[in-house]
Chains A and B, each alone.
Chain A
C-alpha cells in the first residue's frame, strides 16, 4: 500500500496563477483532510471531507476550493494564488471523522511569488 500520496512535491507559482494539489489514499478511508503548515504555527485545517460526496470548511478555507472526486481522491484548488498561500500543504486521511488516527501524505511545498 502506498498510503497517502500527494502531487506535486514542490511548486512555484506567480501571484494570480491557479493550480490543483492532488491527494489520493489507498486505505479505503472515509475521511480526508487538507492542512497547511506555516512556521511557528500548528497545522491548520483548510477543508475536510467526512465521507465521499461531502466537503466542509475548516479553519482557514478562504482562497481554496476542494473536490472529493471519489473515495480515494481529494483535491485542493487555488483559483488565484497569493503570496500568503506560500506554505507546506498536507493531505491526510482517517478511517472515520474526528477521533481516529490520521495518516498524512508527504506534503507539497508551495511558493507563491
Chain B
C-alpha cells in the first residue's frame, strides 16, 4: 500500500464547478504539501500545511491530522486550472526526513 493515496486519479469538470481532490496518508507527518504540474510544465508548490486550512485565491487546502486526510478544493473552476495536482507529505523524524509523493490527480476543466 502506498504511503500517500490520492483520489480521484482523473477528474473532468465543467467550468464553474466546485472541485475536491482528496489525499490520505498512512505515516506520521510534520507537513503536507499540495503541488501543481501543468502539461509539459514544471512543478509548483501551492500549499504547505500542518494543521487547519489555507486559502490562496480560488484554492483552499484543508488537513485533518487525526484522520490523516487532506483535501484540495478549487472554487469556480476554470480551464486554466487543468493540471496534475500532487499531494506530498513530509514524514516526521521517526519515518525519515524526505517528501513522499502521491501519484497525482489529473484534472481537466472544460469550457
Contacts and interface: CB of A to CB of B under 8 A. Distances in A.
Interface of A: 33, 40-45, 48, 58, 90, 92, 97-107
B104 A42 contact: yes
Interface residues of B, number: 24
A43 B100 CA distance: 8
Interface of B: 2, 4, 30-31, 33, 35, 41-45, 48, 50, 86, 88, 90, 97-104
A43 B97 contact: no
Top 3 closest A-B pairs, CB basis? Answer: A42-B101, A99-B90, A98-B97
B86 A98 contact: no
A104 B101 contact: no
A58 B99 CA distance: 10
B45 A58 contact: no
